[in-house]
Amino acid sequence: MGKLTGFLEYRRVANPTRPVEERLNDWNEVYVLRDKETCEKQGARCMDCGVPFCHRGEMLHNGASGCPVYNLIPEWNDLIYKGRWKEALDRLHHTNNFPEFTGRVCPAPCEAGCVLSINEPAVTIHDNERTIIDNGFKNGWVVAEPPESRTGKTVAVVGSGPAGLAAAAQLNKAGHTVTVFERDDRIGGLLMYGIPNMKLDKKVVQRRVDILEEEGIIFKTNTEIGKDISTKKLLKKFDAVVLANGATKPRDLKVEGRELKGIHFAMDYLSANTKSLLDSNLEDKKYISAKGKHVIVIGGGDTGTDCVATALRHGCKRVTQFEIMPKPPQQRDSEGNPWPEWPGNLKVDYGQHEAAYKQGDDPREYSVMTTKFEGDDKGKLKAIHTVEVEWVENEDGSKFPKEVPGTEKRVEADMVLLAMGFLGPEDIIAEELEMERDGRSNFKAEYDEFKTSVKKVFAAGDARRGQSLVVWAINEGRAVAREVDMFLMGDTVLP
């Protein structure tokens, strides 16, 4: 696979970013593609490993290693090295319905499992993937492929995020008539409203939705199951139901002053901004503006980074990001965090790069816990009180944050964005169906079968597994489709 000596001849060259001073003035995507020749050389760095670890997703101690959708990575790296781009696209689509999404927003656990990454920078698998699919769209190779015949079976998919769309796409390929229900006004779920435009342009999402619709999938927007249509009515109308409505209950921070004006959940902030951007280029003012404000983002991860980047584009006075966890090491701990585990070293994402450019330093502060929100006499937030923590180990080996005396601080703040993750799916569907849930309030369904406790109801994605990556959602969407097809037909044609 690839050029046998390519990893010795070529250095890693990733997709470049647009200049920070340019991109802070718009909402366009941060990353741009390398030229074709450069990408072909990067494909040549694939090593023809005896045992490749990149293409098979495994859950290890520190997270996933390898590709959760089992992308045929060595195969398409070899094909792009040889200039056989259309064949590379075919191999990519064989395992991944939406490589244009994962090629933009996936953190690339495949690269963590790359054998070359043991002692050299990994193959640019993530960027190669995006280049293959974008080149495919550019050349008109990505077209609708409706099924040749229909089975007469009907399936309802609740939620149009990556899990719901992947399930719908696969079930439609099998010939079933699929209807996707989405409570928002646009299809895409997390892809449309949860991820900012500078990471995933919404034209990219809509382009794929249009293809799915042309293939025969029926989309119903502004329809919330459990409110606009009861779940029981859905069960009567359809032969099977797939719940892929995500883990949308945000984790709250219940400290003194939480009720003050100016404290928002991160997803409310990001979603409103994207909707206003799409509806009116922010002219309607129907979003939460950070302009001229001291913004505190509580929580790390992708959502926290997206909040930082969005606040900077609004023109905030300053943005600071508090993380309760300790600062990660600069380099991987080879004993406690060995290859091919996901590396737990410090990463600097696009939002932190932008903040450092604008403000002069990384906006993140570590081992910080919020103890109180302070407001003025009008009920508006004006400051946040914090204390540093150290992580102490219990007798059972678990760790908890312990306050460090004398480290208390008061920090001026006009806006706080809570980006501390999600607790599970909302309650309305589970309560209406009296459906079993697991200890974390997710819909209870085993991974291999995806069957809930309610007959002909299946669950997949974040609603079943909890908050996770887009690539895992696609994995579960494809897998649940196979089980639904088996349930409906007694056999399955799906991979």
Look up the CATH number of domain 154-248+423-489. Answer: 3.50.50.60
Q: What is the pLDDT of residues 47-60, one digit of tens each?
A: 988 889 999 888 88
CA atoms of 419 and 105, how far apart (whole Å) = 18
Q: Which amino acid is at 403?
A: E
Fold for the domain defined by 263-418: FAD/NAD(P)-binding domain (3.50.50)
Chain-wide mean pLDDT for the chain?
Answer: 96
E-only strand ranges, 182-282: 218-220, 240-243, 263-265
Which positions ≥6 away from 82 have C-beta within 8 Å? none
Q: What is the pLDDT of residues 436-451, one digit of tens each?
A: 999 999 999 999 999 9
Q: Are 410 and 385 in contact (CB under 8 A)?
A: yes
* Helix boundaries (H) for 239-385: 266-280, 301-314, 350-359
Look up the CATH number of domain 6-138. Answer: 1.10.1060.10
Q: What is the pLDDT of residues 115-133, one digit of tens each?
A: 999 999 999 999 999 999 9
Both tokens of residue 134? 């974008």
Q: Are 445 and 414 in contact (CB under 8 A)?
A: no
List, edge to edge, every strand of the sheet that includes 218-220.
218-220, 177-181, 154-158, 240-243, 457-459
The DSSP string of 166-190 is HHHHHHHHTT-EEEEE-SSSSTTTI
pLDDT attached to residue 321? 98
Neighbours of 5 (CB within 10 A): 11
pLDDT-derived band at 2 (thresholds 50, 70, 90) equals low
Residue ranges of domains in the chain: 6-138, 154-248+423-489, 263-418
Q: Do domains 6-138 and 154-248+423-489 have the same CATH topology?
A: no
CA atoms of 53 and 359, how far apart (whole Å) = 40
pLDDT attached to residue 1? 61
